[in-house]
A and B are shown apart, each in its own frame.
Chain A
Amino acid sequence: MNNPVMTTILSIQNLRVEYPLRDHKRSVKVAVKNLTLSVSAGEVFGFLGPNGAGKTTTMNVMLGFVNATDGDILLFGTSVRQPIARQRIGYLPEMTYYYKFLTAEELLRFYARLFEVPRLEADRRIDAALKLVELEHARKRLIKTYSKGMQQRVGIAQALINNPDLLILDEPTSGLDPLGRMKVRQIIQRLKDEGKTVFFASHELGEVETVCDRVAILHEGELRAEGRVKDLVSHYQCNLEQIFLQVIGFQN
């Protein structure tokens, strides 16, 4: 039997993304330079970097929002250019971008239809997802009446509606109060225990150190460091925050 931990489910191969600069029509900005990395099944992978490092661009390519200039990203062995590659992923954006005129239940049912989940199974998953994020009591309320924390939890519920094998979380705790952060962390921990693979971009380095198995640090579009958190900590002899600052060349 194959070891599931060794199965590569996300593979970024020589990814290069260029944007034309608005002010200079002929020149381009290279957002990501020849990025290569892979994530194995069951891992919680932290994707780190300062603002403008190319994290969001990489995730945008991963989700098919932006086309790569060169290279490719494979999800479960399928190029992200194919919509079917997104069948087994759950995505939580940085901010809560959901239809405010729908209730949480309607939103989840809509997303379940997009994954072609059968109706009875969708009912079961909606119940389970809302229970997990503790929103059962508010399932019939319009999302526009929710607090920010509740909206973020709807986001987690929608990311789980297809029972994904890979979860892509873009700063899932950004803007949440300490209680909200703790709840999101608990959910990620629970998903990790269930054997889900999580690809996780965050600026909260303490949180990343606690939750992640492996991290990659990106700076100016280039991969500057990659490895297991434990290995990096023992190699640099300091915590992840100090490693991060060293890697991006911050001089105090």
Chain B
Amino acid sequence: MNKTLAVAGVVIKELYRRKDFYVLFILTIMICLVMGSMNVFNDREIIRYVKEICLLLIWVSSLIIAITTTARQIPAEKEQRTLLPLLAKPLSRTQLVVGKFLGCWIVCGLALICFYTFFGFLAASREHQWHLLNYLQAAFLHWMALGVVIAFALLGSLVFAAPSSNATICFSIVAAILCIGRYLDKFALSLPEPIRSIVYSIYFAMPHVEIPFDMRKLIIHDWPIIDWRYVWLLGLYLLAYIAFFLVGACLIFRRKALN
């Protein structure tokens, strides 16, 4: 575990020393700040729209951070050949993959803490109330969903040679799941066989990251929190997908020749 954490530590160090990471981070916060200070026709309900847009922006930014940072981790190591002295150490390829995953996941978690804290202050300044548990549930499931995306991008980085193609494919798939994932089963009913079965299979096989995405509504409409048992259950469901993608990544990486 110590070796895996050491690899994760280097990933975190790399990300906080990179400037492009801060650009997106500051941009998101600035847009949220401008949005938060909006006041149209003295409409008190406008805060709901502002919250929805801010949370959507946080989701988009966190997905960009997760996918772009993960997609280039192993390809960049290969291209700059830093992988050679690294794997010449008593470090297994599984430890390297898990270390890379942990590093990216921790960075995304830290970014989410900043985003949600900032968003919380912004919303509290307008609403004069602080729904801490709602934020906690939404942020936790958001982080778990990002774990699935990171593991998937890591697997993609071992399949596709170029980080850009991997990032594009990951973005497209995640955007498709977020936008149409929840309607796919109903859509399948309107299709003839065998397409219906294929679409149904896709619906049941894909990771439903749109469920944490919909947790935004808890915050937007100030709904009461969900029973924690369901939150943990959903967390476990997402954890199973993380494990599945990581095992896939490890199996592919183990067979790769590094010459």
A binding-site residues for B, Cβ under 8 Å: 56-57, 60, 63-67, 83-87, 89, 91, 93, 95, 97-99, 101-102, 106, 110-111, 113-116, 155, 158, 168
Contacts and interface: CB of A to CB of B under 8 A. Distances in A.
Nearest to B258: A65
27 contacts: A56-B259, A64-B88, A65-B257, A65-B258, A66-B257, A67-B257, A84-B90, A85-B90, A86-B88, A86-B90, A87-B90, A91-B84, A91-B85, A93-B85, A95-B81, A98-B82, A98-B85, A99-B10, A99-B14, A99-B82, A101-B17, A102-B13, A114-B3, A114-B90, A115-B90, A116-B2, A158-B85
Contacts of A64: 87-88
B181 interface: no
Interface residues of B, number: 25
Given A97-B82, A99-B10, A114-B86, 14 more contacts: A65-B84, A65-B87, A66-B258, A66-B259, A91-B88, A93-B88, A97-B80, A99-B14, A99-B82, A102-B13, A110-B10, A114-B3, A114-B91, A155-B85
B6 interface: yes
A66 B92 CA distance: 14
Contacts of A168: 88
A89 B85 CA distance: 11
Contact of B6 (A84, A86, A114): A114
Contact of B2 (A97, A111, A113): A113
B89 interface: yes
Nearest to B17: A101
A31 B73 CA distance: 30
A56 B90 CA distance: 20
Interface in B203-259: 257-259
B9 interface: yes
A113 B13 contact: no
B82, B88, B258, most chain A CB atoms within 10 A: B88
B84 A106 contact: no
Contact of B13 (A57, A67, A95, A106): A106
Contact of B259 (A60, A116, A155, A158): A60
Contacts of A115: 89-90
B258 A83 contact: no
Contact of B258 (A60, A85, A89): A60
Contacts of A111: 85, 89
B236 to A, nearest CB: 31
Among B84, B85, B92, B258: residue with most chain A CB under 10 A: B85
Contacts of B80: 97
A110 B91 CA distance: 12
A30 to B, nearest CB: 15
Contact of A63 (B2, B6, B87): B87
Interface in B45-72: none
Nearest to B14: A101
B89 A86 contact: yes
A106 B10 CA distance: 9
B129 to A, nearest CB: 43
